[in-house]
Structure 1
Amino acid sequence: MGKRPLPLLVRLRGAIQAAAALLTNIHLPNFLSGRLYQGNGKRVCVPGLNCYSCPGAAGACPIGAFQAVVGSSGFRFCYYITGLLILLGVLLGRFICGFLCPFGWLQELLHHIPSPKLSSERLKPLRYLKYAVLLVMVVLLPTVLVNELGMGDPIFCKYLCPQGILEGAIPLALVNTGIRSALGALFTWKAAVLAAVILLSVLFWRPFCKWLCPLGAFYALFNRVSLFQMQVNSHRCVSCGKCANVCPMDVDITQNANHAECIRCGRCIKACPTEAICYRYGFGNEKTKENS
C-alpha cells in the first residue's frame, strides 16, 4: 500500500496563512484613505500579532491591548485579554504561530528570497529572549509606567514591535502628510528594527518568532497542555532523524512531541518515511504505542 495522503492542514498551510492574514486585515480600502477601522470588531482581539493601527486591521492586537490597560486595576479589559489568550493557548497552542499569525507568514515569505540560508541550531539560547520580552516589556514596564489616566505605556509596541511600523506607521505616513511631518527619532529606531528583522528573516527562518515575539512566548507556555498537539507513534518510529533535520524551529519531535518551540507546521509529518507523526486534537499522551 502507498503512503496515506498528507493531512489537509499540512497541504493547505500556505493558503490558510494567506486567508488568515487577509481576514485579519480585511478592510483593504482603508490603506488608500489612511483611515482606521473603528467598528465593533476592534473590541475583539485577533489571535496573531497584528497591529491595531493598521488601516486594514479588523480587530485589536492582544499584546497591544493588554499593555494599554495592564497598569490599572480600574480597567477590566486586561482580564478579558488574558482570559482570551489563555483560552487560545489551551485550544491551539503555537498552532496559531504556524497557521494564523500574519507576521509569521511574512517572515516565511521573506525567507523564500534567494540568498544564503543560515542555521539557527547554535543560536538556541536566543529563544529564551522572547520570555524576557514578555515579562519585562509587556507585563512589568507597562504596569509601572502609567499615564495620568492610569493606562500603561505600551513599551513593546512603541520600541520593539516591527509589525507596528510595517502595518501602521508606514501605510499611514504614505497617505497622510500630517503623520509624515510628525515622524521623528522613534520612527527611525522602529524602521531600523524592522529592517533588521527583514534582513534576518531572509537569512534565518522566522527569527522574530524564535527569539523575540512575546505572543509566541505566551502560547509556548501552553504547548504541552493544548488540545491541538503532535503525536508520535513509537512503534512506527525508526529513529531516522529526518523529522529533526527538517524542523525549522530546531525541535526533535521524537524527544518532545509538544516542545514549546513547535509551531505545528507539519514539515515533520511530510518528512517521516513511516507515517509515525500525526496531528491529534484532544486530551491524552503525546506519544502512543498503538499500532495503526
Structure 2
Amino acid sequence: MPSPDRLKNNNRRRKGVQLLALAAGNAWLPGFFRGTIYQGPLKQICLPGLNCYSCPGALGACPLGSLQNAIADPIQQISFYVLGFLVLTGGLLGRFVCGWLCPFGLFQELLHKIPLRKWRPERKLPLARQLSYSKYIFFGVFIVLIPWLVRLSAGYGEPAFCKYICPSGTLMAGLPLLAANSQLRQLVGWLFGWKFLLLVLTVYLSIRIYRPFCKYVCPLGAFYGLFNRVSLYRVTVDASRCNSCGQCTRVCPMNVPVPQDANSPECIRCGKCAAVCPQDAIRCGIRRSGEVNAPLTGIYRRKP
C-alpha cells in the first residue's frame, strides 16, 4: 500500500529533474546579458527536449531544428546523426523525455498551476482523443514535407516549424534576445508578431488544459511516442495484482487508460499512476525479464 505522500514525493522529484535539465541545457549565462547565442563546440550536440538552438543560454541544439535543417540542406540527403540521436533517445526513453527533461513541458505545467477553471476536452468533446493525432500531422507537414518541398523548388529549404509555429522558440529565444539586444528589436516584423500570438494562445490554453502543446501539436513528442511501446524505459502493470479501482486512469494527466494500454504513445512517464496505485501493481522503469507476456501494452501477469 503506497503512503499518502508518495504522489507528492514523485511530483517533487520530477520537478527537481525538470529544473535541473532546464538549468543544465541553458547554462551559458553571458548570452542572456549580451543578447547573443552560444556558438561553442557543445552546440553540435542535440539536447533531448524542445530547447531552442537560439536560446541565449542554450549549450546544445534542438533535435527538431537540426532535423529540419538536415532535410532542407541540398548537400546532405539526411542527417544520420540527428536521426540516430532521435531513434536512440526514443528507443531508450520514449516520452520520458517529455515528462522529465523538456523545458517547454515544464513551462506548460507551471502555467497549469494558475488557479483558473480547468478544461478536460476529452470528457466533453467526442473527438478530443482523435485530436492527439494532429501532432503527427505537424511532424509530417512542417518537419519533413515543407522543408523538403522548398528545397526542391528553391534549392535550399527552411525549418518551417521553427520559423512559423514553435512557441518554445519564441519564449526561449525570441523574447530573451529582443530584451537584451536593441539591434534585433529594430528588425521585428509580422512574423514575430504571429509567433508571439501563438505563444500567447499557448499560454492561455496551458492555464486551462494540461500540456495542450504536448497533446496536440508537438512533433518531438509525436516522434518519441512512436517508441513508447518498445522503449527500454516503460510502464508495466501486473494484472494479477490490479483490482481495477481506476485510480491510475483518473490521476493520469495525459488521459491514458493505464490498465488497458500502459505504454500508450500519449504517456509521458510522469509516474503518477504508479504513485497512487493501492496495490503496487504499476511500475515505471527499465523493463524486467519477467514482464514479457504483453511487451507492447505493458500489461502482464506475474508468474506464480
With normalisation by structure 1, the TM-score equals 0.94
Question: Per-residue CA shift, 1:109-136, capped at 9, x if unaligned?
Answer: 0000111111131321211110000000
Distance 2:238 2:201 in 1: 40
> How do residues 1-292 of structure 1 correspond to structure 2 at under 5 angstroms?
3=2, 6=6, 12-72=13-73, 74-75=75-76, 78-121=79-122, 122=125, 123-146=128-151, 150-282=155-287, 284=292, 285=295, 286-290=298-302
Q: Against the structure 1 CA distance between its residues 290 and 6, is the aligned structure 2 distance closer, same or farther, given a 3 Å change threshold?
A: farther
**Given residue 185 of structure 1, which amino acid in structure 2 is its aligned partner?**
W
How many residue pairs align between the two structures?
Answer: 291
Could you tell me whether the CA contact under 8 Å between 1:251 and 1:261 is conserved in 2? Answer: yes
**Given residue 301 of structure 2, which amino acid in structure 1 is its aligned partner?**
K
With normalisation by structure 2, the TM-score equals 0.90
Question: Per-residue CA shift, 1:112-167, capped at 9, x if unaligned?
Answer: 01111111313212111100000000001101112999542010001110011111
Structure 2 runs not aligned, ≥5 long: none
Could you tell me whether the CA contact under 8 Å between 1:166 and 1:194 is conserved in 2? Answer: yes
Could you tell me whether the CA contact under 8 Å between 1:229 and 1:258 is conserved in 2? Answer: yes
Q: Against the structure 1 CA distance between its residues 184 and 73, is the aligned structure 2 distance closer, same or farther, given a 3 Å change threshold?
A: closer
Could you tell me whether the CA contact under 8 Å between 1:118 and 1:203 is conserved in 2? Answer: yes
Distance 1:64 1:41 in 2: 16
Distance 1:249 1:117 in 2: 14
State the percentage of identical aligned residues. Answer: 46
Could you tell me whether the CA contact under 8 Å between 2:31 and 2:37 is conserved in 1? Answer: yes
Q: Against the structure 1 CA distance between its residues 11 and 188, is the aligned structure 2 distance closer, same or farther, given a 3 Å change threshold?
A: closer
Could you tell me whether the CA contact under 8 Å between 2:74 and 2:151 is conserved in 1? Answer: no
Question: Per-residue CA shift, 1:219-272, capped at 9, x if unaligned?
Answer: 001100100000101111010111111111010110011000000101111221
**Given residue 109 of structure 1, which amino acid in structure 2 is its aligned partner?**
L
Distance 1:137 1:38 in 2: 26
- Quote the RMSD (CA, aligned, Å): 2.1
Distance 1:76 1:135 in 2: 17
Could you tell me whether the CA contact under 8 Å between 2:2 and 2:277 is conserved in 1? Answer: no
Structure 1's consecutive aligned runs of 4 or more residues displaced over 3 angstroms after TM superposition are 2-11, 147-151
Residue 10 of structure 1 and its aligned partner are, at CA, apart by 5.7
